[in-house]
Amino acid sequence: MKILVISSYPSLENPSAGVFVYNLIQQFCKLGHEVTVISPKNILSTRSKKVESYGVENCTVYRPLFFSASNKQIGSFNTYRIAELSQIKAVRRTVKKHNLEFDFVYSHFITNGFIALNALKGYNKPFFVAIGESSLTLIAKQFPKDYFSQNIKQMRGFVAVSSKLKNQLIDYGIPENKIFMKPNAVDLTKFYQRDKVEMRKKYKLPMDLKLVAFVGRFLPHKGPLRVLEAIQNSDNVGALFIGKGPQEPMGSSVVFRESVPSYQIPELLSAADVFVLPTQREGSCNAIAEAIACGLPIVSSNIPEVMDQCNPSFSILVDPLNVKAIESAIEAILGDEEKREAMSNNALEHSKNFEIGERAFSILNFIQGKFEK
């Protein structure tokens, strides 16, 4: 099939953007499908230093420019609508300019689904959207009252990463048979446990410290500064912060802080001793799934989304806002080598249940089942 994907997507300037989408879409290609990706690029985005590669690319990728006015509520109007309209034009322009052919449209996140729908509904093709947000209710607030419900009902089908999101879709009037619930998964040929010493040498990381890894946007709800605060009382602990964002962690405990291409993430995870993410909300967390696949014990949040991914055999889940609890959980793992080794082995065993190739096949099977309806 010919698949058109509308989503955020990695680039040489921003290799970590939409990595989970990239990994899934590459699997679509491996299954023999022809995939084109349109990933609109904000014309006002700050240029970052380019990397050599964000990974092997099997798709055709277009990055048309659009204008954004941020996401601010002014009375009954949200400025996100300016960016939305600009992206609708960018997608429509790209499809027309390159005479793109496609059998269906697959978008990741509901906002991209709406962009695709309003840009391309004249082509009379089915639209499918992956729902991975932490809450559809929060997303709906940035749109006019009836706009969200009207657009969401025009989708042919949905892929929800959690039962919570599936139930929210049902609350918006989506029939259950139009929803495929499938948690996020990992490419186990890329995310696996490497030799710790070799990875530390490769990235020039200290050999004499226990290392905590954080992967994600540096945002308050993700908690990078809470991780930093939780380790500051320990002389023998350093932290890897893989990502970027406004809440930038700094200090002597930070031994690595950088946004990297997706293929480097499992190498850096393998250099660490424990993964810590005190997040306040998630859809289905790719960073946690990837850390589990690399054999890392997990310290994260006692919220339903994370509890769906983790069990006590390899994780300690705490109040994400309680820095002392985060600190105690880290100490419990780093201070007991036998416990840490057992948790690592349990994580590796658990990861076998979440393989991305099977997920890609299942999603496309669901879509094909809805194709003629």
Residue pLDDT, tens place only, 222-261 = 999 999 999 998 889 999 999 999 999 999 999 999 999 8
d(CA 213, CA 294): 12
CA distances in angstroms from 137 to 30, 174, 219, listed in the order given = 35, 14, 20
Position 47 scores a pLDDT of 65
Q: How many CA atoms lie within 13 A of 58 on its CB side?
A: 15
328 vs 75, which has greater pLDDT? 328
Long-range contacts of 206-211 (CB under 8 A, 24+ apart): 206/238, 206/255, 208/236, 209/236, 209/237, 209/238, 209/255, 210/234, 210/236, 210/237, 210/238, 210/273, 210/274, 210/334, 211/237, 211/238, 211/239, 211/240, 211/255, 211/271, 211/272, 211/273, 211/274
Residue pLDDT, tens place only, 165-194 = 898 999 999 999 999 998 888 989 989 999
Asked whether this chain's domains 2-185+356-370 and 196-351 adopt the same fold, the reply is yes
Position 69 scores a pLDDT of 73
210 vs 373, which has greater pLDDT? 210
d(CA 92, CA 66): 12
Task: For 278, list phi and psi in degrees, rounded to 5.
Answer: -85, 65
Question: Which CATH number among 3.40.50.2000, 3.40.47.10, 3.40.1080.10, 3.80.10.10 corresponds to the domain 2-185+356-370?
Answer: 3.40.50.2000
List the chain domain ranges: 2-185+356-370, 196-351
Position 146 scores a pLDDT of 87
Position 334 scores a pLDDT of 97
d(CA 229, CA 252): 12
Residue pLDDT, tens place only, 304-354 = 888 888 999 999 999 999 999 999 999 999 999 999 999 999 999 999 888
Using 50, 70 and 90 to split pLDDT, how confident is the model at 373? low
Position 46 scores a pLDDT of 66
The CATH topology of domain 196-351 is Rossmann fold (3.40.50)
